Amino acid sequence: MFHFSRWKRPLIASSLALAALALALPSQAVAAGKTITAVMHADLRTPGMMTTAYIVRDFGYMIFDTLLAEDANFKIQPQMAEWKVSDDKLTYTFTLRDGLKWHDGPPVTAEDCVASLKRWGKADGMGQKLMDFTASIEATDPKTITLKLKEPYGLVLESIGKPSSFVPFMMPKRLAEAPADKPLPELIGSGPFKFVPAEFQPGVKAVYEKNTDYVPRKEPPSWTAGGKVVKVDRVEWITMADAQTAVNALQSGDIDFMEAPSYDILPVLEANPDIKLETLNKLGLQTLGRMNFLQPPFDNVKIRRAAFLALNQKDVLDALVGNPKYYKVCGAVFVCDTPLATDIGAETLIKGNGMAEAKKLLAESGYDGTPIVIMAPGDVVTLKAQPIVAAQLLRDAGFKVDVQATDWGTVVSRRTSQKPIKEGGWNMFFTNWVAADVINPVVNVSIGGRGTKGGWFGWSENAKIEGLRDAFARSSSPEEQKKIAADIQKEVYDQVIYIPLGQFFGPSAWRKSLSGVLDGPATPIFWNIDKSE
């Protein structure tokens, strides 16, 4: 085994990164016309996999479309379909608009969309709840989708128009009916871009071409709603794990867009007159820790509670972000500065004063020293700090901790495993949700209590929370909804369903040769962007 001195390692890393850049950047022959070259927040490895990983969601917005969409005023708008609701609120009729075609030529049909909704409804927390209230969903003619409810349900449109993971993307019936736990056999949608599989290098490069057959809506674009007008010929996502290399490429003009520059590099970008720096997701993100309820020691609520008391948001946010301008200590499960925000149960997270109680509870819990296996991705800027800070706080409380370094793609794959630790299982991982994915009890899959029957990774089982989520969905009273949300938050913290570790806001950077970059609640949006020469 070769060992390299510290001073050589950065040179080797930079050389490898530059070599990867040279391979990934487009040649003039291939990239005729306007090409946007972007470095996203993570590398794309399994684009056809049904997962909550945001890079896969971002891929979906490039090539797929949605029946409905949410605009910047939080209102649901028609996208692929218009809708009508019966007087008794039990029947929703969706009519596909003209001009919808799959990338391989056939028209989009209602049967395709019904199959897509059913696929989504099995995997997504909000989709699962909608399906609990659904009596039937069927194609009543080639352009009409009819959804009938068992009882009135107030979040039908909000569910089908949700902007983030899992997004109910529409796909051909043959793909929608493929096994949801395996990558799609083809990557064909009806959206504004087409994926170019011949140029796909997993973890290195993904290429999209303008879908010249796409018919945009007439309305102006607003978040994920409105007209998706593509003004360039190609978009290329290039992976650059080395942040400094990516910044150098942005400043030199070798790339055009960088989704998530690290916070320590922001002053350099702010000083460059050719670069624009802006937070596109004004609602920010919630960062969080998630435990595995199936494996010791976190199958014991006292041990989960001890870990909860040991953690605090400020330590995590200081390491993750550093600059208070870009973060907020926030005890609200459903995000601060929203109608459902409350601090109930969050005192130790906010004040960081739970360590003594954590040590006492751990000593009383029967903890036998089983190491806590934490998956720690090193290739995503916004996920590097959380595992390291949490590991040290847990050690301070008396836990033994095994931090296993990996990349985010491996975390996304490995967190699906329900096997024991010795067989590749895990105890804890960290991730981020955009605010739109946690803003209420129905959309927030992290609070779900379905266990192994459709629950999110970690597989918490909690009938009380599921009952409260149903009550929230049935309620039309803002006051009652706020009370239900507070009751859910108390149960989440008491049982340590997950651990919110604060809100943060991540600016994106792009060269001023790009114009028309849109705000959004989730993904960077590449339609509407033009590029000057």
User: What is the rounded CA–CA span in Å between residue 252 and residue 274?
Assistant: 10
Q: Which helix (H) or strand (E) holds 472?
A: helix 463-474
User: What is the rounded CA–CA span in Å between residue 4 and residue 2?
Assistant: 7
Partnered with residue 352 across adjacent β-strands are none
Amino acid, res. 400: K
Domain boundary among 176, 207, 228: 176
Q: Is residue 2 part of a domain?
A: no
Domain extent for 33: 8-55+196-281+508-531
| pLDDT at site 379 | 86
Q: Is residue 291 part of a domain?
A: yes
User: Do 227 and 324 lie in a common domain?
Assistant: no
User: What is the rounded CA–CA span in Å between residue 4 and residue 1?
Assistant: 10
Amino acid, res. 485: A
User: What is the rounded CA–CA span in Å between residue 526 and residue 280?
Assistant: 12
Angle between helices 355-364 and 385-397 (to 10 degrees): 60
User: Do 318 and 438 lie in a common domain?
Assistant: yes
Q: Is residue 21 part of a domain?
A: yes
| pLDDT at site 7 | 30
User: What is the rounded CA–CA span in Å between residue 82 and residue 96?
Assistant: 7
Query: Mean pLDDT of successive 10-residue segments in the chain (533 residues)?
Result: 31 41 44 86 81 86 97 93 97 97 98 97 88 96 97 92 92 93 90 96 94 97 96 96 90 95 91 95 93 98 98 97 94 92 97 97 96 94 94 98 94 95 97 91 91 93 95 88 97 98 95 95 90 88
Domain boundary among 143, 176, 209: 176
User: Do 161 and 130 lie in a common domain?
Assistant: yes
Total structural domains in the chain?
3
Q: Is residue 492 part of a domain?
A: yes
User: What is the rounded CA–CA span in Å between residue 125 and residue 465?
Assistant: 13
Q: Is residue 481 part of a domain?
A: yes
Match 């020691």 to its residue by tokens: 297
Closest by Cα among 241, 188, 177, 168 to 48: 188
| pLDDT at site 42 | 83
| pLDDT at site 32 | 57
The size of the chain, in residues, is 533
Sheet with 401-406: list strands edge to edge.
Answer: 327-328, 499-504, 285-291, 428-434, 372-377, 401-406
Three-state DSSP string of 68-125: EEECCCCCEEECCEEEEECCCCCEEEEEECCCCECCCCCECCHHHHHHHHHHHHHHCH
User: Do 224 and 289 lie in a common domain?
Assistant: no
User: What is the rounded CA–CA span in Å between residue 281 and residue 278?
Assistant: 9
Question: Which tokens is 328 given?
Answer: 């907020």
Closest by Cα among 79, 77, 51 to 65: 79
Contact between residue 418 and residue 446 where contact means Cβ atoms under 8 Å apart: no
Angle between helices 355-364 and 301-310 (to 10 degrees): 160
Contact between residue 233 and residue 530 where contact means Cβ atoms under 8 Å apart: no
Task: Tell me, rounded to whole angstroms, the distance of Cα 439 from its chain centroid.
Answer: 13
Q: Is residue 517 part of a domain?
A: yes
Closest by Cα among 188, 200, 183 to 237: 200
Q: CB count, 10 Å around CB of 122?
A: 14
Q: What CATH number does the domain containing 154 carry?
A: 3.90.76.10
| pLDDT at site 33 | 87
User: Do 336 and 394 lie in a common domain?
Assistant: yes
Q: CB count, 10 Å around CB of 88?
A: 8
Q: What CATH number does the domain containing 354 carry?
A: 3.10.105.10
Partnered with residue 484 across adjacent β-strands are none
User: What is the rounded CA–CA span in Å between residue 238 and residue 39?
Assistant: 5
Question: Which tokens is 496 given?
Answer: 């340590």
Domain boundary among 123, 143, 176: 176
User: Do 260 and 169 lie in a common domain?
Assistant: no
Question: Which tokens is 115 given?
Answer: 């199959």
| pLDDT at site 514 | 97
Task: Tell me, rounded to whole angstroms, the distance of Cα 407 from its chain centroid.
Answer: 16
Task: Tell me, rounded to whole angstroms, the distance of Cα 449 from its chain centroid.
Answer: 20
Exposure letters 97-112 (e unless 16+ CB within 10 A, then b): eeebebbeeeebbbbb
User: What is the rounded CA–CA span in Å between residue 79 and residue 161?
Assistant: 9
User: Do 133 and 248 lie in a common domain?
Assistant: no
User: Do 331 and 394 lie in a common domain?
Assistant: yes
User: Do 300 and 274 lie in a common domain?
Assistant: no
User: What is the rounded CA–CA span in Å between residue 435 and residue 438?
Assistant: 5
Q: Is residue 106 part of a domain?
A: yes
User: What is the rounded CA–CA span in Å between residue 208 and residue 231?
Assistant: 13
Q: Is residue 184 part of a domain?
A: no
Question: Which tokens is 114 given?
Answer: 């019904």
Provide the pairing of β-strand 35-39 with 257-258: parallel
User: Do 244 and 373 lie in a common domain?
Assistant: no
User: Do 457 and 385 lie in a common domain?
Assistant: yes
From residue 341, alpha-carbon distances to 327, 330, 344, 451 in Å are 16, 9, 9, 26
Contact between residue 192 and residue 212 where contact means Cβ atoms under 8 Å apart: no
| pLDDT at site 354 | 97
Preceding amide of 297 cis, omega within 30: yes
Q: Residue 131: helix, strand or coil by DSSP?
A: helix
User: Do 204 and 240 lie in a common domain?
Assistant: yes
User: What is the rounded CA–CA span in Å between residue 527 and residue 525?
Assistant: 6
User: What is the rounded CA–CA span in Å between residue 360 and residue 398?
Assistant: 10
Amino acid, res. 370: T
Q: What CATH number does the domain containing 227 carry?
A: 3.40.190.10
